[in-house]
C-alpha cells in the first residue's frame, strides 16, 4: 500500500453523502488515511445543507467540491487502496477501472439531500447521514488495514457496510 491509505468515496452527485464521508475520514483517519470523494454525475457543487452541518461541526469546508470520478481514473491520479460507494445508484453503475486494483465495497445509506420540508427536517436528515457515516469511518480507521490481506480487508469493509441504517443493497452485497 501507499504511505497513506487512499480511500475514494463515491456517490452519484458527489454533493452530500460522499462529501460528508470525505470530511469525516479526513478528520478521523489523518494522517494514516487520505480521503477523496467523487461522483458518476457530479452536481457541480456540494449540497449547502451538508456544508452547513460540516461548518457547524468545525470542518473547514472551503476545499470541498463536487467532481467526477474520472479525475481518479486517469494517469497521474492518486492510486486508491479502497473505493467505497455510499449510494445505491453509483454502486449499480459501471465504474472506471481504478489504477492499483483497490478493494471495493458498498456502504449504501439513504440520501439526506431533498429530505424534509423545513430547515429542521433537512438538518435532521443530514445529521442522521453524518452519524451513520461517522460510525462506518470509525470502524474503518480501527482496522489494521496495513497488515490485512486483500480478502480479509474486503470481508471487513463489507461488514462495515452493513452497520445500522444500511440500504437493502448494502445489506445484500456479496
For the chain, give every domain's residue range: 5-167
Question: Can you tell me the distance from the alpha carbon of 167 to that of 20, in angstroms, rounded to the nearest whole number?
Answer: 17
Dihedral sign of CA atoms 23, 25, 31, 36 in order: negative
Q: Are 165 and 86 in contact (CB under 8 A)?
A: no
- Cα 84–chain centre separation: 6
Full pLDDT tens readout for the chain, 174 residues? 458 999 999 999 999 999 999 999 999 999 999 999 999 999 999 999 999 999 999 999 999 999 999 999 888 889 999 999 998 776 666 666 777 779 999 999 999 987 888 889 999 999 999 999 999 999 999 999 999 999 999 999 999 999 999 988 888 875
Strand pairing class (5-11; 33-39): parallel
CATH for the stretch 5-167: 3.40.50.2300
Residue 154's nearest CA partner among 101, 97, 89 is 101
Q: What is the pLDDT of residue 97?
A: 72
Element housing 171 (H / E): helix 168-171
Question: Can you tell me the distance from the alpha carbon of 2 to that of 113, in angstroms, rounded to the nearest whole number?
Answer: 34
CA end-to-end span of the chain, whole Å? Answer: 24
Amino acid at each position: 500500500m501507499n504511505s497513506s491509505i487512499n480511500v475514494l468515496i463515491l456517490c452519484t452527485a458527489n454533493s452530500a453523502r460522499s462529501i460528508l464521508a470525505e470530511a469525516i475520514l479526513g478528520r478521523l483517519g489523518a494522517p494514516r488515511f487520505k480521503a477523496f470523494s467523487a461522483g458518476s454525475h457530479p452536481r457541480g457543487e456540494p449540497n449547502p445543507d451538508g456544508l452547513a452541518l460540516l461548518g457547524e461541526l468545525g470542518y473547514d469546508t472551503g476545499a470541498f467540491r463536487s467532481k467526477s470520478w474520472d479525475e481518479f481514473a486517469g494517469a497521474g491520479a492518486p492510486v486508491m487502496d479502497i473505493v467505497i460507494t455510499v449510494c445505491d445508484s453509483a454502486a449499480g453503475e459501471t465504474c472506471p477501472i481504478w489504477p492499483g486494483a483497490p478493494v471495493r465495497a458498498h456502504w449504501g445509506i439513504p440520501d439526506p439531500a431533498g429530505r424534509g420540508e423545513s430547515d429542521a427536517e433537512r438538518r435532521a436528515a443530514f445529521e442522521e447521514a453524518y452519524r451513520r457515516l461517522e460510525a462506518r469511518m470509525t470502524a474503518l480507521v480501527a482496522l489494521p488495514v496495513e497488515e490485512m490481506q486483500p480478502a480479509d480487508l474486503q470481508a471487513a469493509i463489507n461488514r462495515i457496510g452493513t452497520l445500522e441504517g444500511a440500504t437493502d443493497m448494502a445489506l445484500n452485497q456479496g
